[in-house]
Amino acid sequence: MPFYSKLGLLPKKRHVQFRRPDGCLYSEELFGTEGFSGPSSTMYHIHPPTQVYGWTPKYSTKVEYVETDIMRMRHTMTGGHRLPPKGDSVTGRVVLYGNADCEMAVCNPAEQMSYHYKNAQGDECIFIHFGSGVCHTMMGTLKFGPKDYLVIPKGVIYIMVWDKRQNGADGKPVDGGPPVENTPYGRFLLIETVNGSHLGPPRRYVSKEHGQFLEHAPYCERDLRLPELPLTWDQKGDFPVRIKARDLIHEYVYHYHPLDIVGWDGCYYPYVFNIDDFAPITGKLHMPPPIHQTFEAHNFVICSFCPRLLDYHPQAIKVPYNHSNLDSDEVLYYVEGNFGSRKGIEVGSLTAHPQGIPHGPHPGTIEASLAATHTAELAVMCDTFRPLHPTKAALALDDTKYPASWQGEHFPGLSSGKMHLNGATVPPVHAAAFPREVHPVDVIRAAVPQVIIPAPGTNGASGAAKPGAGVSTANVWAP
């Protein structure tokens, strides 16, 4: 983060003698980015941080992408029992999408971590969907719960300790989440950088000179939860620390507890931001997706689609217009709310829309949304500026019917003849009634000059949705 903070014990000046109670010197470490030119923190260890040994390669994290040449809409269903508990908060990560800039994974851990972890390859943004606990980091402790973003910068050593989820007297989970037997600790979405860039707030929301959040930002410094005590573990022993770097997990062993810092200060540290503290920007007419932007790194952004009031122009169309995303792929992770207008979309679903393919409201959703005043849906989106690719795991959870989900009559009144684009009523016409060389559009153009009408049935009249049918007025955005 760009703003200064501190925790624990610090000497008055940098780079001066700072002694432990036994008279020995604390070990100062500059923890910095971009050489010595970027954000950094200065930390004071009980032990020299260089005393590590026993580096052992454990396993590869190199992601294998499939169908890299194929461009199509995708719906990856990870909800319900489809993603059984697996591994711990690191080994249980299932990467679903990614490219040379970022990786997106979902994790439903089956067990607690038995080691500390350091991602030396990129920043991590961990969105807690279900569950709670604490994340002990080398820079202090972060409590986390549902809908928290944990932003852990590259290089920070941490361990996640989950609360065990419990059933109540009624046999249902106390926290209202998924069944405990399927999700014993919790579940999170992970978006991490793999291109060496760092996650931060959108640059347009912070001042150029000092990085202070500006007045038009949808969140600010007060919304961020910074590391707290406990900070320091003074223990001897053999402590494994797993380090991700170069697409490989190495294990190092420390002679002492790796969280041995007594104090730090600076502008580089982990923090928590709860998505409910995002104050959505609303407008008279439809506001585009950038208003939902929450974080950014090089070549991708993370957005929060939160419950909010909808457009207030008396003739506003509450669902987004069709759009093509010519320069970005977008993946949405559905957190909560009613996804009735997206057929088959459920909590834990991910949809992937590649750049260049138009997408927009599902059949029937536009008319159905006109009277809506607010939306209660919650989703996290990752937009990338280079094509995203699925993994084998994503294809195993693939809903192959999704690309055709926009089929169906968007304007049933036109094909039935009950309405016409210029307000006049015309008899219904059907393509099958005309020989191939005589298209119904031409017939109607001849009959009604200066009117353009689409050929009825070209969107597939079978199964046409009636306006409002199966559509929640709460669901008025179509990513």
Site residues (CB under 5 A) for Fe ion? Answer: 479
Query: How many CA atoms does the CB half-sphere of 411 hold within 13 Å?
Result: 12
Answer yes or no: are the C-beta atoms of 55 and 68 closer than 8 Å: no
Q: How many Å apart are CA 11 and CA 96, to the nearest integer?
A: 46
- Quote the least distance from Cβ 325 to Fe ion, whole Å: 6
Instruction: State the nearest-atom distance from the C-beta of 477 to Fe ion, in Å.
Output: 9
With respect to Fe ion, which residue has the nearer C-beta, 4 or 321? 321
- Beta carbon of residue 352, minimum distance to Fe ion (angstroms, whole number): 11
Contact (CB, 8 A) for 278 and 306? yes
- Closest by alpha carbon to 479, among 394, 311, 354, 294? 354
User: What single DSSP character describes residue 416?
Assistant: H
* Shortest spacing between CB 326 and Fe ion, in angstroms: 11
Helix, strand or coil, per DSSP, at residue 273: strand
Q: In the complex with Fe ion, which residue's Cβ is closer, 331 or 394?
A: 331
The beta-strand segments (E) located in 337-466 are 349-353, 374-375, 378-384, 389-390
* Contact partners, residue 201, CB within 8 Å, separation at least 6: 213, 217, 219, 294, 295, 296
Closest contact distance (angstroms) between CB of 362 and Fe ion is: 13
Q: Distance between the two ends of the chain, CA-based, in angstroms? A: 29
Shortest separation between residue 305's beta carbon and Fe ion, angstroms: 11
Question: Alpha-carbon dihedral of residues 176, 177, 179, 185, nearest 10 degrees?
Answer: -120
What ranges make up the beta strands (E) of 92-175?
93-98, 102-107, 116-119, 124-131, 133-137, 140-144, 148-152, 157-162
**Which CB sits closer to Fe ion, 169 or 326?**
326
* 90/478 with CB nearer Fe ion: 478
Among residues 456 and 479, whose Cβ is nearest to Fe ion? 479
Structure tokens belonging to residue 450:
């200066």
Closest approach, Cβ 53 to Fe ion, in A, equals 50
Under 8 Å between Cβ of 341 and 365:
yes
Q: Which of the 8 DSSP states describes residue 359?
A: B
Nearer to Fe ion among residue 263 and residue 479 (C-beta): 479
CB of 397 to Fe ion, least distance (A): 21
Q: Order of strands, edge to edge, in the sheet holding 236-245?
A: 52-60, 248-256, 236-245, 116-119, 157-162, 133-137, 140-144
CB of 199 to Fe ion, least distance (A): 22
Residue number, nearest CB to Fe ion = 479
In whole angstroms, how close is the CB of 288 to Fe ion at the nearest point? Answer: 9
Query: What's the rounded Cα separation, in Å, for the pair 93 and 102?
Result: 14
- Smallest gap, in angstroms, from Cβ of residue 287 to Fe ion? 13
CB 198 within 8 A of CB 271: no
Pairing assessment for the beta strands 186-193 and 124-131 based on DSSP bridges = antiparallel
Judging by beta carbons within 10 Å of its beta carbon (0-12, 13-18, 19+), is residue 209 exposed, middle or buried? exposed
Q: Which is nearer to Fe ion, 153 or 479 (CB)?
A: 479
Nearer to Fe ion, 361 or 479 (CB): 479
Q: Which is nearer to Fe ion, 260 or 330 (CB)?
A: 330
Of 49 and 479, which CB lies nearer to Fe ion in the complex structure? 479
Q: Which residue, 185 or 339, is less far from Fe ion as judged by CB? A: 339
Distance of alpha carbon 338 from alpha carbon 159, whole angstroms: 34
